Chain A
């Protein structure tokens, strides 16, 4: 058997985000087990462990699950990720943090056991700006862009990138931190009402998203000028604001909705068979899709590892190699029943971060659906790459890490 623990959170302030993600993650492996008999003939076990988005419980879960030869960890929490980075590196297992975690971990020379492809916080910021550039005919000079962010290490991630980009493109950046949990944002939105920024970018999580969108609607901020990162673009973020949320945009790392062939199998082997995780009411939602996407990539990495190692019962070290040699192509996604679901990418020893592309989706309040309104947008790697280098080098220096891949 292969063991991929699911460090999830179904309680606490961030449970509404954690639940669908965990469901999607779990269901995808269930699908593989039920339909294909696992991966390479090995059943995948997904022991779930509740972290409550709490770093200590995260450590406990890690220790509790790692013993059974756990192959990859995906804790869906930046705080837990930071703690696990040294631990997995020392224990030789793998941390997979798509779209979250430590951005500079995409530098494989320094972070041997951490992977965060296909996109991360910094590329997200850059994609958003590139999208706005495209919208504005390639020119953001003199524009004012506000960043509303969760005042935690997660929310602060894009600041450096956006500052660099504002220098490059000549827009003005207004920073508006929101304190956890973000129930009360009056002053931030009054400020937005006053400053009338041309666009608002949001890095939020948990209840902060819903309140921000509600407040934006309250001050009648034009929703189509309001873009959230992919963590601020779930159904439960927009639903509470009702019609007011119509037109709200968010980044998307992957597709959403039930229009993928995989759902036919999902229905047949998982939900109809009564094997669905959780209450089963999250299927097809944004965060469910993301959990499924993460599971899919991990599954593919396991498959790659099996191919390289020539054995089905792979070890954590072999799985790490699988991650490092993973290639996801359009065709492969098609085969998996997820055509055009995510971006194609190929990992290398140096590059654990992927191309960092994203699409834009927009909320339709009457139909209550997200619609993809753009193709894959490239981030501005010229700006991001030096930042990644700088941060990872600092880490390497502080911890006496030797560079790999030479």
Chain B
């Protein structure tokens, strides 16, 4: 009995880590935008939803706005009648996200240079509302199946191997493994970008002081388009992963709430922090639910993630890897 519980706890832990990586994928988008502009981007979740909707729409050849067109003209349009290969659809969606970054910069951010963080935060809330409605009008609000050919389900190899080794077959979802690999690749690429390129430096400069960044000739507009495009791409990745899991529909935007504690624990400005935070939160909440949950009625994950983050923050108010908050007079 005892070793079995041990293995099971280990399995819960490993799966917690995997779940954490899924959260990190969303958190990464937040971090990028925060790093580059000090904006806490409330719309990140909706962005993921929008990206996934667009991906499915393009892939299945849905006619955009068909819903509205049909309502106005009484037509019955739905599909162009093609299906695109996943990779093409992903590339096209990435382009759409770049377009969106340009639009966001042009119509929102440009006018809000040098405002306080909370105002910018509020603007992203407006954006979230808008995109939520827009996504629905554009692609309809029914549930959609997203399939870009990612594997899903228990990985038999791991199950067998672990069974042979320990006498206990570990459950690991293949989708989670893919997510972990993608996340690792993203983190490495993004860290290199922000640490070793002049754009990376400019990005951090912008986050510190918009006006000073302007004064040295950093084009906020370019930086913002750049970073929102990247964040859009990250949102697309998150959308694909989560969408493969649960279909594409409104609730996808709510994953942002799962990313918040990750973000806070890891630090708003740290790309590796998003991953480490995710791992800690994922593991912590799953283990807690496993060990303590049954005693107090379960469904503890939501609040426990925040309490865990809170515990860490009490010791490091800027998050694990966040930049130290400079306090001087």
Which residue of the partner chain, among B142, B143, B258, B299, contacts A210 with CB atoms under 8 Å? B143
With known contacts A12-B250, A15-B249, A151–B301 Cβ distance under 8 A: no
Cα distance A16–B250 in the bound complex, in angstroms: 9
Decide if A390 is an interface residue (CB 8 Å cutoff): no
Q: Is A64 an interface residue (CB 8 A)?
A: no
Which of chain A's residues have a CB closer than 8 A to the CB of B258? Answer: 183-184
Shortest CB distance B91–A (Å):
24
Question: Given A151, A183, A242, A280, which contacts B246 in the complex, CB threshold below 8 Å?
Answer: A183
Q: How far is the CA of A179 from the CA of B255 in the complex (A)?
A: 12
In the complex, which residue of chain B has the Cβ closest to the Cβ of A244? B153
Are the C-beta atoms of A13 and B173 separated by less than 8 Å?
Answer: no
CA distance A194 to B145 in the complex (A): 29
A214 touches B245 (CB 8 A): yes
B35 at the interface (CB under 8 A from A): no
B254 partner, pick from A13, A178, A244, A279, beta carbons under 8 A: A13
Q: Give B283 Cβ to nearest chain A Cβ, in Å.
A: 11
Q: Which residues of A contact B173 (CB under 8 A)?
A: 218
Q: Which residue of B lies closest to A181 (CB)?
A: B251
**Are A183 and B254 in contact, CB atoms less than 8 angstroms apart?**
yes
Contact B246 A187 (CB under 8 A): no
**A218-B173, A236-B247, A240-B246 in contact; A19/B19 too (CB < 8 A)?**
no
CB of B117 closer than 8 Å to a CB of A: no
Considering the complex, give the chain A residue whose CB is closest to the CB of B75.
A274
A220 touches B154 (CB 8 A): yes
Contact with A16, one of B15, B141, B154 (Cβ below 8 angstroms)? B141
Q: Give B149 Cβ to nearest chain A Cβ, in Å.
A: 12
Residues from 128 to 187 in A contacting B, C-beta threshold 8 Å: 151, 175-179, 181-184, 186-187
Kindly state the interface size class of chain A when it binds its partner.
Answer: 35 or more
Overall SS of chain B's interface: helix
Expressed in whole angstroms, the Cα–Cα distance for A331 and B301 within the complex equals 51
Complex CA distance for A175 and B289, rounded to whole angstroms: 13
Known: A16-B143, A19-B142. A179 touches B76 (CB 8 A): no
Which residues between 135 and 178 of chain B lie within 8 Å of chain A, taking CB atoms? 136, 140-143, 145, 152-154, 171, 173
Is there a chain A Cβ closer than 8 Å to B290's Cβ? Answer: yes
A273 to chain B, nearest CB (A): 11
Residue of B nearest to A10 (CB): B141
For residue B65, CB closer than 8 A to chain A, the reply is no
- Residue B81 interfacial (CB < 8 Å): no
Task: Give the residues in chain B near A219, CB-CB below 8 Å.
Answer: 154, 171
Choose from A183, A206, A217 the contact partner of B242 (Cβ within 8 Å).
A183
Interfacial residues of chain B within 272-317, with CB under 8 A of chain A in the complex: 285-286, 289-290, 293, 297-299, 301-302
Beta-carbon contacts of A197-227 to B below 8 Å, as 1s and 0s? 0000000001100110010011110000000
A179/B247 contact (C-beta < 8 A), A240-B145, A280-B76 known: no
Residue of A nearest to B258 (CB): A184
Flag whether B67 is at the interface (Cβ < 8 A). Answer: yes
A residues near B8, Cβ cutoff 8 Å? 190, 194
When chains A and B are docked, how far (Å) is the Cα of A211 from the Cα of B175?
13
- B residues neighboring A (CB under 8 Å): 8, 11-12, 15-16, 18-19, 22, 67, 70, 74, 76, 78, 136, 140-143, 145, 152-154, 171, 173, 242, 245-247, 249-252, 254-255, 258, 285-286, 289-290, 293, 297-299, 301-302
Q: Which 9 A-B pairs have the closest CB atoms?
A: A177-B299, A16-B143, A240-B247, A207-B251, A181-B251, A236-B143, A151-B299, A187-B289, A211-B246
Q: Which residues of A contact B (CB under 8 A)?
A: 10-13, 15-16, 19, 151, 175-179, 181-184, 186-187, 190-191, 193-194, 206-207, 210-211, 214, 217-220, 236, 239-240, 242, 244, 274, 279-281
